[in-house]
Chain A
């Protein structure tokens, strides 16, 4: 039982977000090699010594965005089932073989892509590579395992609703994008998960798990030439086939204001998210956006946290975050406060946002944020697991090593004037989407003023947004 000083809670919402660089000594991603096999498989190899571990990360360039409407969760369920039965192992045998090494094979999907990750001690490399490739190449999706996983996923959504902070982001994204594009949850909901059939899973796998649609990053304790040979042996014969990329709808920011209040009758605290559709992963302003957001809501001494926590004690934490993806993703302010201070805390968050627009940020604040990002960056490149993920994701988004190697220079180039432009362009003011989860009877009247368009749901009702009947 431990209790923390800081808001680790809301940071759950932005796991993938923040790589960052350093000081006198400049930051570089370790050298790595890229090979494209004849069948189209892109392979990235990065040697990293230290602990005797090898990490594999296969990024399949298709994720939840490809789920057919009404079958949200299909990409995720497909990924999770890869190790639940293959041509040579039952689900139980796979788990036993994998656990025996102390290593792991894990898979899941986000909206943009699916991932299969393997981790093994280098003494178990042969066995590990056999397991990892078995999952990727030879899954058979036994019906009993499909049924089991779908039932578990369904209860997983319900369990998440019992922990409000873990579903705030899901409701917010759903409402922000009105159930389209990134508004469709890639974990699925209580209804969509009942609509997924075994043949749809097989079809998803057969359509998208093709070498030309996969980036395979390997990082850790190995010799590149040797690893390349091993991978060629295992994946070289995987037949290539054409994959049509899934188009992710580019949705414009919401015009005007709207508010969704999700009722949780026993809540003692209101959880809220405020923002709009913002930037995509390759946005040319991304470094300046990160810098300004660090000042605004991306660290403990941010303007938001200073106001809502440090100065007033209204909350344990207030943050803001961009979640850039293939298409423009959400920007949000996220916090929570006791029922009685709901309006006070939201008013305060909006004032901080207004102030950012009116006053911009100072030279000192900018300098501090630059130091902060540079100083906190190196630990994000410390393990082979992190490195495998970073090089795979950068490759996917079409970002090269300069993303990391030039970060310091790019940060240094951001002036207060550029910061001001970025604030006007990427931080919303008058067009705002509000999502609140809390005790309706206590807070509904107070929050009327934020938007003319008001929507309502009850936490225990299935789905997120829109309500199932309107789908």
Chain B
């Protein structure tokens, strides 16, 4: 894509105000981020921090399992593995060996929405890291032997995180049931039969589809200056030509018109319960009110759900909720771990009663302020390390369209009212909009019979 010809090097000074509503002076946390869009369309964000002589580098590609098709599910994640298995200059196994010998390490993750590559290294390894990154974006190789052995690795990963993990298994079933049209219905790891069958051509097609520099954002945080990063990018990354981005995902999940339920029977010590509600994507204005609601209901031992299910009724070991960053309308998931011998239905009933309570009368001022304080502490947790800052800057840039939204988060949370919280509870957390997944221990069921 040749659209982004202009080279902007804006320098944003940003301020984070304390959320304290008690009238204390605002605590300001400033960190400048420099940005530039390379000629090939890749955006580069740099934040200098010389407190340790290290650097965190993240590259976010806007491609994930939502860009896949039935038959080749899981290919984004498999491809992520292949990005470590050899290119032109750094052959199979070379990338990791050279990086570690120079004090660096790396990892990567794939979600439904993005594939993210991470490098953590001492400043001295910087030229090498850029050489490696450029090599694998430009000249990735597809060695058939490597593909076969990596297939085994991914199958093992799946056996560990799905077959031998009740939470992973139930989560997979939950998404597959909550979505009937949209690609969020298949697992990021892919179905086992797809893992066994995809071909080298599928991989090549995936690379061609998702790995244009214009489809990526690079974030560099640590012992660097923006000027040196932009310079090294000009030499190594900018010459890599761009091409068309992945075709847009046009499928829209139709509204859910009634509750869906599923049951998994499996040998297990304890049952498990998950409840999903359809919610809007990350960049939706309701995102902040939904998070405040989830904080009040689920976060900390004083939260309403913990107080009810764990402390008072003593029917669960733990109760929590999660919403992953998403480009498309997604689901908020409630997870309850019932105690041994407790019917998950009992937990379900208690959860619904607590949800109804939030809908019937607004939360208290005290609860609202608590939730904002918890979110403020979370913000500091996210930005207190160079690694956390790289991930957070990139996540806001990619999912909210602008990293500067990170610094509006405090303001956006502060603007949430008790009525907003009540409204999102009513809008999204209703019976017709939910999918309920229960895992029932086979042994216990047999004992009952």
A338 within 8 A of B: yes
A445 within 8 A of B: no
Size category, A interface: 35 or more
A contact residues around B448 at 8 Å (CB): none
A51, B122: Cβ atoms under 8 Å?
no
A164 within 8 A of B: yes
B159, A155: Cβ atoms under 8 Å?
no
CB-CB nearest in chain A for B22: A123
Q: A33-59: which residues lie under 8 A (CB-CB) from chain B?
A: 50-53
Give the number of A-B contacts (CB < 8 Å). 234
Q: B131-158: which residues lie under 8 A (CB-CB) from chain A?
A: 148-157
A268, B163: Cβ atoms under 8 Å?
yes
- Interface readout for A365-395 with B: 1 if CB under 8 Å, 0 if not? 0011001101110110111000000000000
A233 within 8 A of B: no
B103 within 8 A of A: yes
B contact residues around A22 at 8 Å (CB): 52-54, 103, 122
Q: With A and B bound together, what is the CA distance between A301 and B385 in angstroms?
A: 25
- Candidates A9, A99, A161, A269; contact of B370 at CB < 8 Å: A99
- Candidates A300, A315, A316; contact of B100 at CB < 8 Å: A300
A contact residues around B443 at 8 Å (CB): 460
A1 within 8 A of B: yes
Q: A299-B100, A301-B96 are in contact. Are A6 and B107 (CB under 8 A)?
A: yes
B contact residues around A99 at 8 Å (CB): 299-303, 370, 374
A158, B269: Cβ atoms under 8 Å?
yes
- Min CB distance, A189 to chain B, in Å? 13
A248 within 8 A of B: no
- Min CB distance, B178 to chain A, in Å? 12
A92, B307: Cβ atoms under 8 Å?
yes
Q: With A and B bound together, what is the CA distance between A152 and B299 in angstroms?
A: 18
Q: A409-463: which residues lie under 8 A (CB-CB) from chain B?
A: 460
B373, A102: Cβ atoms under 8 Å?
yes
B53, A378: Cβ atoms under 8 Å?
yes
- Interface readout for B108-124 with A: 1 if CB under 8 Å, 0 if not? 11111000000011111
A2, B386: Cβ atoms under 8 Å?
no
What are the 9 closest A-B residue pairs judged by CB atoms, nearest first? Answer: A375-B103, A313-B152, A313-B149, A102-B377, A102-B373, A99-B300, A95-B301, A368-B101, A158-B269
Residue numbers of A with Cβ under 8 A of B are: 1-6, 9, 22-25, 50-53, 91-92, 95-96, 98-103, 119, 121, 123, 148, 151-152, 154-156, 158-159, 161-165, 265-269, 299-301, 306, 309-316, 336-338, 364, 367-368, 371-372, 374-376, 378-379, 381-383, 460
13 extra interface residue pairs, beta carbon distance < 8 Å, beyond A99-B302, A316-B156, A372-B100 = A3-B109, A4-B109, A9-B160, A23-B103, A23-B122, A52-B27, A100-B369, A313-B156, A315-B153, A376-B103, A378-B54, A379-B385, A460-B443
20 A-B residue contacts at CB 8 Å?
A2-B109, A3-B109, A102-B376, A121-B377, A162-B269, A163-B166, A164-B164, A265-B267, A301-B100, A312-B152, A313-B148, A313-B150, A313-B152, A313-B153, A316-B154, A371-B100, A372-B101, A372-B103, A375-B102, A460-B269
